[in-house]
Structure 1
């Protein structure tokens, strides 16, 4: 076990563990009974102490201890003995490592100064130690086998204590290395945790900024949604108003048509009654020699004009402007509509017709027609969407449609 021990410096050699390693005071207390045993042995064999003091170092140590005991300095004597025990323990530990190649390098790393106070080494093992005379000049006798056995037992006990200390030192060294590794691991873990904390904090800041941006976007979207709802409500109201106004215009247009038909019927009856009174056809009125020939001569002209315009037109027209169409080689004007000269209105009318056929019937003496698209009055559609202005002779229904477009500021009224 001692051969596996590694000397790591003065700090490792001087460690003390509260688990197994005994401190100086414990060592002193444990050594006292042994000392008493040995002392008692010395009392039984007076020559044992003389045999132990067989070197200059031991004689000097015994002399110093004698002076301390004679002066009553027991504590200093105990301290002196403790130092000696520590030195002896250290020597026993180094004895096992003496032939280790790394021992010299490890001793040199201690940085010990050469103060010329080295202790003289004891005699080598197997070297004969000559008996030294004491102060009286007497020569010590050679120890007996029993005394040598007792000394060997004492040495074995010290060797066992040194081995126990070596094992404890190895255990403490392993614990120290484990604690150092654990501390390094904790330091690395703390660094990793700090880095992760910084990354988490940065990520949290980014997420908070994204959340703020999302909240702002949601607020903007809520405002836009509210505005769209308001516009939708307004559009619904306008659509309802438009449908109601369009229905009213249709009703007024129907009433106007009925009145026009009634007026036409009354006019025809009046002409027939006038013809029956004159006793001649309308076409022949111009041949009667009378002073009212000029006034009656206009009737054939009106009849001829009406007869010329009674021709109905049907087909896909070309849009000239918002109030004028070209159909079957003829240029016709929409009834009650006055063009404003806006090319955009003509384009809108072209898109509205989208290649559909129109059905036109005469509505005046000069190529004025009332046209329909899918049974919808085209003049009413143009005026309702602001494609033109109402003509001075437009009926109230068309005038009302033009007024609606002007109030809504659409088409030509948007400028």
Structure 2
């Protein structure tokens, strides 16, 4: 039998009840993969009160709740004792405890790890729980450690991060450098950037590049709220409203275009460090050519993207870039910043224009607004598959 698998599901626990981000989807894809075959699998989750160990049945229970087949249960006394948690968060944490086969305070983590069969391979794909305590304990107990790195943007662009988040991220990456047996990178671009950081600290762990799998978006216009999609030409930009995504650039273009501009739909929740952009959005009147839309389901968002005149992606930096990839899979034109990582897996399918050239962006947006329906529907983009990803990651050679 191959080595048993231990999946860190700390991020899944912490994000319960929220709209899934790209990183969330990766952890859930690993959960689905591990539950789909016969290799023994377990889950590890960090809570404010310690660690939880789940077996296959427990992981299946987590998946059933995440996918809506079973409702989260009632909060327990321990979850009510924690401040700052949403009701769903408390319910999820209580259910994780109910589903766990064992739990331990932080200082008793070694006792928990000794319950795992050997050989065993630990997978952390959500950037959560990457601590010295966890990785050193796993290593000391002969557990093989594989970590997926999505990007090193916090170290390269600290000005775009939440206050106080850069140093903890650096500490996580240093733990990965010291303890990981294998680093999985979502792109060659991320690998080059991460290893440049690690080289300054010492050794560089063994690694592979495995592009993240993609699932063709399922469009369902019936899931859209009233008034959507617009009956006139419109553009979309998809992503959390945070400085790195560069919404300011698009707002500047729309200010320049004035009242004759096409509609711009900004699809995503509000993030951090972006008060100036939030103020501009709050000042938009009922006749504004910019609309802010949040909390759409995946099928509704896909329907909105599918009938747009174009999907705009002026992000300053990305580790992968799921929104332009999904737009291309929906046969929607994409205009994006000229980033190396996008060239890596999107090829020549998008139109690339540097965000240093606002004139070029404005010209293309005007052109596409006047030709909302393309003369020839392009072939749908075929994104990388999870099958190929897991063939690489779970190979005996990995």
Which bracket does the TM-score occupy, shorter chain normalised? under 0.3
- Could you state the TM-score of these two structures normalised by the residue count of structure 2? 0.21
- Could you state the TM-score of these two structures normalised by the residue count of structure 1? 0.20
Report the structure, 1 or 2, having the larger strand content.
2
Is the radius of gyration larger for structure 1 or structure 2? Answer: 1
Higher relative contact order (CA 8 A, sep 6+): 2
